[in-house]
Structure 1
Amino acid sequence: MQKNNENKRQAALALGALGVVFGDIGTSPLYAIKACFSGHHAVALNTGNVLGVLSLIIWSLFIVICLKYVTFVMAADNDGEGGIFALYELVCPKGTHKSFSFMLIATLLGGALLYGDGVITPAISVLSAIEGLDIATTAAHQYTTHIACTILLVLFAFQSSGTDKIGRLFGPVMLTWFGVIGVSGFCAAVQNLEVLEAFSPFHAIRFFAENGIAGCMVLGAVVLCVTGGEALFADMGHFGRKPITQAWYFIALPSLLLNYLGQGAMLINTPEAIINPFFSLFPKFLLLPMVGLATFAAIIASQAIISGAFSLTAQAVHLGFIPRIRINQTSEDNPGQVYVRSVNWIMAVLCILLVVFFKESENLAGAYGIAITGTMVVTTYLFWFYLRKIRGWTLVPAALLVTFFACFDLGFFIVNFTKIMGGGWFPILLAGLIAYVMFVWIWGRAKMHRQLRERGLEVAELEPEIEKYMLAKVPGEAVFLSASNFVPHAFIRHLRNNRVVHEKLVFLRVQTANEPFVDSRKRISVKKLEHNISWLTVTYGFMEKPNLSLVLVQAWNQLGISSMESSFYLGRTLMQFNEENSRQKLKRKLFIILSSMAEEPLDYLKIPAEKVVTIGTAVKI
């Protein structure tokens, strides 16, 4: 019975994964083949080139998705959580990395590019689907951008429902989508079984030999068939590795292969179908229903990377890469399912601006390729450290495997760099801005903490300080929040200005662990000092949302104090711009702006507002 329930749960998760994780890669047939034979570097449309392109697509799916991501990279999970930031924290946990190392900078750029991908994917997917209307009627062409913007607005408005509800709604639709594209591809492929020769890598090799530079440039379009690979890894925390793997091998991969083969057969038999090879697979009376289904699937395609962006944001907040922002948990059963309102609407605005500016999906293809291939390169780079440090692989096998993956990633990335003027500038500009903001936040926090440490007290210095300034003890219990192992600045200010100390003192530190989730039995650590002073440490994983109201009930029992009589003292750091310092003015001003945008600790830590006293400490930066 228990086994049956587990099987049903895994099947439900796999269906949900279809609706959230595989939308991106599942809708690539809408534009991938077409992009290979159109544009500035297009190759001639003949049988040899069609087989060559098909071979490149097939082997890209096998090597990049099946081998790299599903088999290896998704095994490099951080307690079930995936994505670039989770992988970075796994190979380089807090306290072991140097500030602003090459690894950290590469990770910030990779994460920033994933945000860029999250903006471009919805725009190109929805535009590609709606452009299918042009085959049935040209009347809707002038309204393409209006329809796309409306659909995108509705999609982003729906995000607050949570990944679980979205997966339950979208899963059956994507199951239908994969079934339809698989059957349509099969029906076209049997009309010309010559396309089965594309499974031989010989055709890919011959394609490069015959087409030279133009053949290499086609890689910039071929990469569109594997764009969902990073989403598989980033969204792993939402569903788990096993359901994603099952959905890929049993449903997504067979359907994609059949559809690409069907489009290839169609182009060999009817070259004029290159106008839109995907929709050419269907008879005219099915075009409008297919445009509707494709539009729905394209909306779902956007979901994979949007959900990934939310997970990425939650990880970035807990790792200290960006300021604290409000993160909502959308599932009680799966803590990895989160929604970030501010990120959601920033992405919505940027998506709509992209649609208005670029107008056609073909114009966005270059921008799309650079964003995702840059992220793939960084993932491979971090995976090298995972193999060496975590798995303990020796130099030669680790180098061989990573070099093999890097050949594909760098090949795709370098070719896409030729499209900078054709839209590729957008993800580079966006990623550069996001990475710079994260860099400034990390730099500013380190600078601020250095100043506070220099002015702070170690625990050993606490008793002499109390004896020096205290005039009286007052009844009650006081809890002072600390950001480090030093005595909180709020307590020092309180002691020196008010000259009183409470009968019972608790110094409370909330810290983030290297793993996504912490066992609740290990969450609290209590160290009792002399004179009714205690040091309480509460630990959360980097995917968990702190809630001190719940945790402290348990802690009070261990400390022997009453939560009803406790007051919380929060130190608030007031950032001031140092006019006397003429260096790094832009970075310092930006850090002060970011500090003002951060969520208040009161809201972030879920502390009862009526019991909080805030004490400010000015820091010049």
Structure 2
Amino acid sequence: MDSSSIKKSSLAALALGAIGVVYGDIGTSPLYTMQVIFSESTGVPLNTVNIMGAISSIFWLLTFVVTFKYVLLILRAHNKGEGGVMALLSLALSTLRRPETASADHHLSSQTSPDRRAGVLLMLGVMGAALFYGDSVLTPAISVLSAVEGLQVAAPALAAQVLPISIAILIGLFSVQRLGTHTVGRFFGPIVIVWFTALASIGVWQIAQAPEVLQAIQPHYAWQFLQARGAGVFIAIGAILLAVTGAEALYADMGHFGRPAIQLAWLGLVFPCLTLNYLGQGALLLLHPEAVSNPFYLSFPQPLQIAAVILATLATIIASQAVISGAFSMTRQAIQLGFLPRMRIIHTSASESGQIYIPAVNWVLLLAVMIVCLAFQSSSALASAYGIAVTGTMLITTVLSFFIMRYRWQFARWLALLLTGVLAVVDSVLLGSASMKFMQGGWFPVALSVLLILLMTTWKKGRGVLLNTMTRHDPNLNHFIQSVAQSSVPRVSRTAVYMVSHFETVPQALLHNLKHNQVLHQRNLLVNVSFSDVPYMNALERATVKQLADGFWQVQLYYGFMQHADVPQALLALTLDGEALDPFTNSYFLSRDIIVPDVGGAMCHWRDQLFSVMSRNASSAVEYFNIPANSVIELGSRVQL
């Protein structure tokens, strides 16, 4: 097999994987979109003109938002192959640090300093991450509920069991996350291909009975439909946007499959199948308006409806899996960029570093999803809450992409403004439409996002205040090391590794060890772990070593924000004075800071207390840096903020 054949085979395999993971969310939108458009809450009358207009609006929204914005444009903005709002944030921030940025656009720079723009971008990134978490709560709830609600069509006697069955499925889904994405998702690709094939087949069958529905692809039907809504156009758009929920997953999961595979999967299978199914539902409603109660399931012949419920349930489980895995990845990126405290991260694959499981996030998500299901009861009610999180993330992605177009891709200023301006107008209209349902449930993702933004900004600022406090009060590192190295303090023939957050002051663990034990080790390593704003760092560039004095070394370890820090493994590659480090003679000294809130500090007292609680509940550095527990000495110190 030649190289071109191998590449094609590899691309096909990646496209299969992308179909299974990336498109589960948007692929299940046909379950509820048409039903919501013609529900009582939108006030859209069910007639031929509106059916054609709704189908046309869905088709052109999919074309513009998914095909043009994400598949053809935003997917080009990758950070060493990684996508998602945090990767885009890192990419945008890196453009502000480049020397040419200041002179590339004098007018913009003269109005807003790079530091201020960086602060604005950081806030946008935090908001995007917070909204993504809201999506991670709502997607499993609305997807599974909408699938199981098919029982009301196929077996009306089971209608009362929809909610208990949905919750049981969700509990099972979150319970198996510990097995890893590979185990859970092994059959995802083939199942989702069957799902999309079923969508297309049933769509073609319905279209054959009312072929006039194909005229809905003409854009003037969409324009007439939206124009006729008048003041209610935002409510109608708020329902239509459900067809593009899950579009952000195309970008967030780019690192797993690559841009070509995601583009091939969308253009070659997903987009055509979704179009055919929406056209098929329109054809059904043209002939049988009474099917509006559930046009998706009523598209299927009666004998196939139970099979359709089972297949839809499997597809929605897959859709839920995509955002759960995304929440794990987002959390790790947020931790390594300094927005969340350390958490226990379990790697579930020896070959794929991106496959991780975070127990704390998993169980908090499950609790939140169960509360949402019990509070909203049905997928139609949840649809009101769903749009704000999705469209908010889309708008933030558009804003961040301006900096990529202008400064990284070197687009002319007018072109970058034109592209992002058009995208931002569409996203703003979608967000405004979703916001019309604020009181009917849209408040939920907003409240959740505000809470998460508060937690993330408190942790980020608290860590900065803590670092400044320690820098002011602790002894200077270089002066201390020089004096201690020349002293007659006894030394033991082992290696002490002191994990430090910076190299400016003496680590508390070193001070306590010297004070209480009255000894030094033969070799003392001050190790700092830094996470870069790129996803991966080459192992050859992992460490830099600087000798400070006799027996003292400063070691800087570098990792990308998608990597897991393994300190013992990194130290094995070092040689000090021509000798390799023996892992069995290393002792790891860790400082645990006990935060004492104080009145009149840099943060409000209640934020000091919140930061203190978050600090106490942060995962130990032992697990986070993969340090062997039997080699750790942990020493505490009280720090007053």
- TM class by shorter-chain length? over 0.9
Report the equivalent of 1:91: 92
What do residues 86-107 of structure 1 show as CA deviations (whole Å, max 9, x unaligned)? Answer: 1111111499574882222222
Alignment of 1:564-579 (within 5 A): 564-578=584-598
Q: CA deviation at 1:20?
A: 1.6
User: What secondary structure is seen at the aligned counterpart in 2 of 1:139?
Assistant: helix
User: Match of 2:381, as an amino acid?
Assistant: N
Of 553, 568, 580, the residue aligned with 1:534 is 553
Q: CA deviation at 1:581?
A: 5.8
Residue 171 (structure 2) pairs with residue 175 (structure 1): no
Q: CA deviation at 1:154?
A: 0.9
Report the equivalent of 1:520: 539
CA distance in 1, matches of 2:237, 2:96: 40
CA distance in 1, matches of 2:215, 2:512: 77
CA distance in 2, matches of 1:609, 1:135: 56
Question: Against the structure 1 CA distance between its residues 384 and 24, is the aligned structure 2 distance closer, same or farther, given a 3 Å change threshold?
Answer: same
Residue 15 (structure 2) pairs with residue 14 (structure 1): yes
Contact 1:117 1:371 in 2 (8 A): yes
User: What secondary structure is seen at the aligned counterpart in 2 of 1:184?
Assistant: helix
Structure 1 runs (4+) deviating above 6 angstroms are none
Report the equivalent of 2:570: 551
What do residues 102-128 of structure 1 show as CA deviations (whole Å, max 9, x unaligned)? Answer: 222222111111111111111111111
Report the equivalent of 1:60: 61
Residue 328 (structure 2) pairs with residue 328 (structure 1): no
Report the equivalent of 1:156: 174
User: Match of 1:603, as an amino acid?
Assistant: E
Of 227, 230, 233, the residue aligned with 2:245 is 227
Report the equivalent of 1:212: 230
Alignment of 1:107-126 (within 5 A): 107-126=125-144
Report the equivalent of 1:44: 45
CA distance in 1, matches of 2:177, 2:270: 24
Residue 382 (structure 2) pairs with residue 350 (structure 1): no
Contact 1:87 1:382 in 2 (8 A): yes
User: Match of 1:113, as an amino acid?
Assistant: L
Question: Against the structure 1 CA distance between its residues 618 and 491, is the aligned structure 2 distance closer, same or farther, given a 3 Å change threshold?
Answer: same
CA distance in 1, matches of 2:22, 2:253: 6
CA distance in 1, matches of 2:136, 2:80: 24
TM-score, L = length of structure 1: 0.95
Contact 2:16 2:265 in 1 (8 A): yes
CA distance in 1, matches of 2:505, 2:575: 20
Report the equivalent of 1:394: 412
Contact 1:55 1:200 in 2 (8 A): yes
Report the equivalent of 2:510: 491
Q: Which moved more, 1:487-496 or 1:219-228?
A: 487-496
Identity %: 38
Q: CA deviation at 1:48?
A: 1.6
Q: CA deviation at 1:468?
A: 8.8
What do residues 168-193 of structure 1 show as CA deviations (whole Å, max 9, x unaligned)? Answer: 21211110000011011011112222
Contact 2:465 2:602 in 1 (8 A): no
Report the equivalent of 2:428: 410
Contact 1:237 1:337 in 2 (8 A): no
Contact 1:21 1:303 in 2 (8 A): no
Alignment of 1:357-376 (within 5 A): 357-376=375-394
Q: CA deviation at 1:263?
A: 0.8
Q: Which moved more, 1:572-581 or 1:212-221?
A: 572-581
User: What secondary structure is seen at the aligned counterpart in 2 of 1:518?
Assistant: coil
Question: Against the structure 1 CA distance between its residues 21 and 446, is the aligned structure 2 distance closer, same or farther, given a 3 Å change threshold?
Answer: same
Report the equivalent of 1:599: 619
User: What secondary structure is seen at the aligned counterpart in 1 of 2:156?
Assistant: coil
Of 280, 285, 290, the residue aligned with 1:272 is 290
User: Match of 2:469, as an amino acid?
Assistant: Q
Report the equivalent of 1:479: 497
User: Match of 2:621, as an amino acid?
Assistant: P
CA distance in 1, matches of 2:440, 2:448: 15
Question: Against the structure 1 CA distance between its residues 488 and 39, is the aligned structure 2 distance closer, same or farther, given a 3 Å change threshold?
Answer: farther
Q: Which moved more, 1:277-286 or 1:21-30?
A: 277-286
Contact 2:485 2:550 in 1 (8 A): no
TM-score, L = length of structure 2: 0.92
Q: CA deviation at 1:508?
A: 1.4
Alignment of 1:504-515 (within 5 A): 504-515=523-534
Question: Against the structure 1 CA distance between its residues 248 and 77, is the aligned structure 2 distance closer, same or farther, given a 3 Å change threshold?
Answer: same
Q: CA deviation at 1:16?
A: 2.1
Q: Which moved more, 1:387-396 or 1:509-518?
A: 387-396
Q: Any unmatched runs of 5+ in structure 2?
A: 98-113
CA distance in 2, matches of 1:369, 1:41: 14
Q: CA deviation at 1:611?
A: 2.5
Q: Which moved more, 1:475-484 or 1:343-352?
A: 475-484
Q: Any unmatched runs of 5+ in structure 1?
A: none
Q: CA deviation at 1:519?
A: 0.8
Q: Which moved more, 1:132-141 or 1:24-33?
A: 132-141
Q: Which moved more, 1:176-185 or 1:561-570?
A: 561-570
Question: Against the structure 1 CA distance between its residues 298 and 504, is the aligned structure 2 distance closer, same or farther, given a 3 Å change threshold?
Answer: closer
Alignment of 1:310-321 (within 5 A): 310-321=328-339
Q: How many residues of Structure 1 are paired with residues of Structure 2 in the alignment?
A: 621
CA distance in 1, matches of 2:124, 2:33: 28
Residue 189 (structure 2) pairs with residue 188 (structure 1): no
Contact 2:476 2:506 in 1 (8 A): no
Q: CA deviation at 1:557?
A: 6.3
Report the equivalent of 1:587: 607
Question: Against the structure 1 CA distance between its residues 467 and 330, is the aligned structure 2 distance closer, same or farther, given a 3 Å change threshold?
Answer: closer
Coordinate RMSD, CA, aligned? 2.2
Q: Which moved more, 1:158-167 or 1:399-408?
A: 158-167
Report the equivalent of 1:619: 639
CA distance in 2, matches of 1:59, 1:403: 18
Residue 256 (structure 2) pairs with residue 238 (structure 1): yes
Report the equivalent of 1:106: 124
Q: CA deviation at 1:457?
A: 4.6
User: Match of 1:527, as an amino acid?
Assistant: K
Q: Which moved more, 1:432-441 or 1:322-331?
A: 322-331
